[in-house]
Amino acid sequence: MEDSDNARQEEFRERPWIVLSTTYDVEAWIDQFNRDLQQAVKKPHAGRHGICFRLAHGGEIFLHTSGEGDALLDVTPEAAWVTPVIAAATGCNPPASQIWSLPGGRLTELLLGLSSLIESSRIVTDHDFRIRKRSWQDG
């Protein structure tokens, strides 16, 4: 059992980011990420898995995509400085809270806009995307 726990920890370790500079790079990264996530999440908690981007200048962004391809971002307070970049890259207005809801068609633009600002990434399997999203939508 210990070997499988060690393998699982290795699977979720933080990985250095490689800057994505073309739409092809982004599409290839999305495809690889989807495969890695499906392999890592055997019994997914609906809406609680995704990826965490650690930003080079501080803070983190948690990304979850729905079955329809829409993106939900949880931008930590330490990463609030990146709000103008997200807005410019996606053409979406900033929300009143730290939770962004983006149409799936904006994911490529988002990743191209953020790519040079990301230091590392890791898979997350239990982040409270839905809880915060529900609070944001009710508020």
Residue-range domain boundaries for the chain: 2-138
Counting residues of the chain whose pLDDT is more than 70, the rounded percentage is 77
pTM of the model: 0.79
Looking at residue 129, what is its pLDDT? 63
Angstrom distance (rounded) from CA 108 to CA 44: 24
CA angle 19, 88, 34 (to 5 degrees): 45
DSSP-based helix, strand, coil % in the chain, nearest 5: 45, 20, 30
Mean confidence (pLDDT) of the chain: 81
Looking at residue 64, what is its pLDDT? 87
| Residue 86: pLDDT over 60 | yes
Length of the chain: 139
Choice between 125 and 53, residue whose per-residue pLDDT is larger: 53
Which whole number is the average pLDDT over 22-35? 88
**Count of alpha carbons within 13 Å of 106, Cβ hemisphere only?**
19
CA angle 105, 110, 116 (to 5 degrees): 150
Q: Which of 30-39, 40-49, 105-114 has the lowest mean pLDDT?
A: 40-49
| Residue 76: pLDDT over 60 | yes
Looking at residue 38, what is its pLDDT? 75
| Residue 46: pLDDT over 90 | no
Angstrom distance (rounded) from CA 127 to CA 125: 6
